[in-house]
Structure formats: C-alpha cells, structure tokens
A and B are shown apart, each in its own frame.
Chain A
Amino acid sequence: MLELVGVRHEYDGRVVLQLERFAVPPGTAIAVVGPNGSGKSTLLRLLALLERPTQGRVLLDGAVVTASRAARRRVTLVEQRPILFRATARENIEFGLQVRGVGRAEVNRRVENVAARLGITPLLGRRRHELSDGEVQRLAVARALAVEPDVLLLDEPASSADRAAAHTLYRVLAEERARRPLAVCLASHQLEDAYRWADDVRALADGQLSPVTPENLFRVELIAAGSGDLKHACVGTVEIVAMTDKTGPAILAVPATDIFVSREPLASSARNTFQGRVTGLTRRRPGGGAVHVTADVGVELIAVVTEEAVRELALAPGSPVVFSFKASAVRVF
C-alpha cells in the first residue's frame, strides 16, 4: 500500500497540498478529481516519489520511503503532458525495461504485447516529432505499463485522447488489473469517466481533500449581487447563484443530490435553473441504485437520481433536461 501521512507541501512558501492521509491500497482504482490548480498533479508527483513533501511521510507497505530506485521501480507516473525521449517510440517503451536489466527477448515480447493492446503497433518506428499529442499520451501509458509497476499513477491520461482511444485506455487498464494486483490512481477532470471506472472517487480542492462529493466542483470568483448574501459566479457559460457571505475567489460545490432533474423548467424557489442536454448516464451497480446523470447545461453538471426517475423522465443521452437547485444548496469554500 502506498500512503501519504501528515503531508504538507509548499512551493515558495505557498501551501499547495495538505493531506492528513491519502492511501492507495493494493489493487484499487482511485480517481482524484478537482479543478485546475487543486493539487492533483502535485499529489501524484509526491506519490511517485519524484518530490519529497515539505512535511510528512510517504509510506510503501508501511515503511517510510525516500526517493530510492527500488521504491521508484514499484510506482510509475504518467504525466498530464508526457514527454518522449529523443528516440523511437519502441526505444521509449524499452527504456524502463532496459534499466531493469530485462533480457532482449522479454523486452521485445512486452513491447509488442503492450503496443498491441493499446493499438499503437504502427507507431513503434516513429520518433516524437512524428506523433500527435494523443499518440504521445498512449505511448507514455504503454511505456509505464511495460514495466509492470505495483502502482500506476496517471495524470489526466485521456486529456488528448478521442473517445475511442479513451475507451481503449480504460479497457486496457481494467484488463491489466484483472490480470495482476495493480493499483491505479488517476487524476481526472472527467467525472463521468472517473465514476464509470474507479472504485473510489476523491475530490481535491485547494490542496485538500474536499468534504463534499466531488461532483460539480468549480473554482470561481464570487461577485455580490445587490444586497444580502446572494452572490453570483460565472461557471462555463452559466451564472450560478449562491448564498454565502464570501466574495472573491472561492470553490463552489453543488451537491449532486441537491439538483432537481426535470424535462421542463419547474415553477419553484430554485434560483438556479439551467436547460441543456443529457450527455451521459452512469450506473455504479448495474440493475439498480443511484444513477449519475451528466448534462451539458452550459457547463457540465452531474445530478444523482433514482432508476425510476430515469425511466419516468425518459432520460437518455441527447435528451433535453432541466437542472434546478437552490442558492442555499450551493456549498462555498
């Protein structure tokens, strides 16, 4: 198990991450979500032993670890904008195996195998300037999977990928986890993917684990709207009204369970009513329980409804939908 305990990390005196405990148990799939600048990449770099926390400890299987080569060989990070070395794609994938002294035949077998699974075999002879951002990202994942780490850390691994490539990536990760006890910790802003794929979804906001569920988390500038505590904040192309005494920079969270879902606008006291279209329905457990409805209402919002509500409202990807919530339901940090 890989753990951060009592970690506080600073850049130039500014606290960027503060976590009492963050654990990645063996074989688990964890998604870390949060807005840009929330500390996701820093968290992954600390877990990857590429940076030493200003305060606190990193534990691997209960023992404090530093940036030793042996420990690093068990944890591999794929950065959000990965870089390929000045070599062919094949040589890049071979790199981690060569530093481990793996024999040539085994190197070839693993490279061919991982390339075939990720659909990048035709790219193996190319150099980095001949590859698109999405192809570089897939090669970087292949390079990390080839060394078969115990913990794989992925920072927005599908940010440059099209839908099909992202699907392939998640399928390959699922196959790898089924084959061996691989723990994956993935930072993503795509909540739908996070919920579909991860066992555990955790939210980061301003370098801290958020106490609320991670859906609908936004970094905003709160502007006073007349008298009282009603404040406005622009998020995407919509304006969210929140009840708070704060102004200026803040993190807004709209609890997914506090959003009313309807096909037509409701006559209600809700200050926030947005029309849009359903972009996805996610069921954590097939055949029942809560359904996460993702909709583009000018910004991506997620609401949680029951299976019955989905049926009654005939919700399906592409169908029109109205999301409503009260100003007092909006959490401000």
Chain B
Amino acid sequence: MDFLAEGFRRALALLFSGDAEVYGIALLTLKIGVIATVLACGLGIPLGFVLATRAFWGRRAALTVVNTALAFPTVVLGLLLYGLLSRRGPLGVVGWLYTWQAIALGDLLLALPIAAALAAAAVQGVDPRVRRTAETLGAGRWRTAWTVAREARFALAAVITTAFGHVVAEIGSAMTVGGNIRGQTRTLTTAVALYTSQGDFGLALALGLILLLLALLVNVALQALQGRGHA
C-alpha cells in the first residue's frame, strides 16, 4: 500500500508544480479528444437521426454495422489504420503516420459509431408524437429534426460525453498509429502505459488523475449547456 500512497503524493506534487511535460501531454490529449469528438458527433449524430427516422433500403443492415462497430477492438482499428497510413498504404501519401492527426483519425473512427448508435437510440426514444406534431404544425425537415433533438437533448448530451470519454481513454489505436513519441504524440493513456511499465507509478497516477479531471470538466460543461433541464 505504501507505493500507492507515495504514488498519490507524487501525482499531487506534479499536478501543482506545473510540470511542462505533464501539461503538454494533457493539452495534446484534450486537443485530440475535442477534435475527434466534435467530428465524430458532427457526423455521427446526424447519421443516427437518419437511421432512427428515415425508412430506406438497407437501414436495418446499416444499424447492424453501426452497432457492430461499437465493439470494434481499438488495437485492430489501429492496425488497419497503420496499414492505410504507412508509407506503402493507400493513404501513405498524406504522411500522417506517427502524428497527432493519425491518433485523431483513429479516435474519430472509434467514436463515430458510438455517436451514431447512441444518437439513433436517443432519437428513437423520443415520443413519436413530437415529430408528428412538429410536422402537422408546418415544420420542415430541419425544424422537425431540431424539435426532436431538443426533446432528446439530455440523451444527446450523454452521447457527446460518452464519445469524449471513449476518445480520451483510448490507447490501442493511439499507441499503434501515434507511436507514443515524447513531445509529439504522447497522450495521457499512452504515457500512463509507458510510465507504468517503467515503474514510475507516481507520474502514471498523476496523468491518470488528469484524465479523470478532463472527463469531469467535460461533463460539467455539458451539463451547464443543457440548462436547468425543464420538462
């Protein structure tokens, strides 16, 4: 137990000392997390709306694909992405391998099905009378979708929180396509894995606490955005 207490002490000391490396890693994680979450939700939530509200050929198959993608192993995702981004791969010309952009792309691909599947479930959970009422009162497609989204706003906020949580906690893909390069592609999760394996438990714990703090801050921010939550 002593090493655990020592780890916490070290963590707090690092957090309050303003360690440049620690904060650099945290800021990079936040940057990648925000970009990947914004893109994933920007694409995934409308996709979820379409899957939940539109009848089209192949809709059931599309839902199955999206739901299956929820359980896609991140290491396998990283491996596939590595193949695509490596010099010999079809996207090798972009030159993203071992950059933060590659990590963001992996996180986007991870969070996209989460956003789509959970948004579809959130929209399907809205009383169908809301949609019918908006339509019969003359609302067009976008206004109707906005009205349904307003009714589902708590569930949609949970979609964003969940997507962000998955993105910042992801390690398999980030390690494979990011390479865990100090000062360039080292994120909180890859750093935690590295320092734990090196026996620097205090630093690993400090980074873990920052990860938790980030998740907490995002949740608080989203709750504030939802307003007071009137029925």
A residues within 8 Å of B by Cβ? Answer: 45, 48, 50, 67, 69, 72-73, 75-77, 79, 81-83, 85-86, 95-96, 99-100, 127-129, 143-144, 147
Closest to B137 in A: A96
Residue B147 contacts which of A67, A72, A85, A127 (CB distance < 8 angstroms)? A85
A69 to B135, CA, bound (A): 8
Please, how many angstroms separate the alpha-carbon atoms of A69 and B138 in the complex? 6
A69 engages B147 (CB within 8 Å): no
| Residue from B129, B150, B151 in contact with A79 in the complex, judged by beta carbons closer than 8 Å | B129
Whether a CB of chain A sits under 8 angstroms from the CB of B197 is: no
Are A48 and B133 closer than 8 Å at their CB atoms? no
Residue of chain B at shortest CB distance from A140: B133
Residue contact A86 to B140, C-beta cutoff 8 Å = no
Judged by a CB distance under 8 angstroms, whether B60 is at the interface is no
Q: Count how many chain B residues have C-beta atoms less than 8 Å from C-beta atoms of the other chain.
A: 18
Q: Do A127 and B231 touch (CB < 8 A)?
A: yes
Chain B residues closer than 8 Å to A73, beta-carbon distance: 138
Give B148's nearest chain A residue, CB to CB: A85
Is the pair B150, A86 in contact by a Cβ cutoff of 8 Å? yes
B182 at interface, CB cutoff 8 A: no
- Residue in A45, A127, A147 whose beta carbon sits within 8 Å of that of B138 in the complex: A147
Contact A85 B231 (CB under 8 A): no
Asked whether A86 and B135 contact (CB < 8 A) given A69-B140, A99-B140, A99-B143, the answer is: no
State the CA gap A58–B221 with chains docked (Å).
Answer: 49
B136 touches A86 (CB 8 A): no
Complex Cα–Cα for A77 and B135 (A): 10
Q: Lowest 3 A-B CB distances belong to which pairs?
A: A96-B137, A73-B138, A83-B129
Q: Which residues of B contact A (CB under 8 A)?
A: 127, 129-130, 132-140, 143, 147, 150-151, 230-231
The residues of A that contact B135 with a CB separation of less than 8 Å are: 50, 67, 72
| A100 surroundings in chain B (CB, below 8 A) | 138
Q: How far is the CA of A62 from the CA of B127 in the complex (A)?
A: 34
A264 to chain B, nearest CB (A): 50
Bound complex: CA A96 to CA B143 (Å): 11
Beyond A45-B132, A48-B136, A77-B132, 11 additional pairs, beta carbon < 8 A: A50-B135, A69-B138, A72-B136, A75-B136, A79-B129, A83-B127, A85-B147, A86-B150, A86-B151, A95-B147, A143-B137
Residue numbers in B under 8 Å from A48 (CB-CB): 136
User: Chain B contacts of A127 at CB under 8 A?
Assistant: 230-231
A96 neighbours in B (Cβ, 8 Å): 137-139
The docked-state distance in angstroms from the alpha carbon of A162 to that of B138 is: 30
Does the CB pair B231–A83 fall under 8 Å?
A: no
Q: In the bound complex, how far is the Cα of B139 from the Cα of A96, in angstroms?
A: 7
Contact status of A82 and B151, CB under 8 A, knowing A72-B135, A76-B137, A99-B143: no
Which of B130, B132, B147 counts the most chain A CB atoms within 10 A?
A: B132
Please report the C-alpha to C-alpha distance between residue A82 and residue B132 in the assembled complex, in whole angstroms. Answer: 10
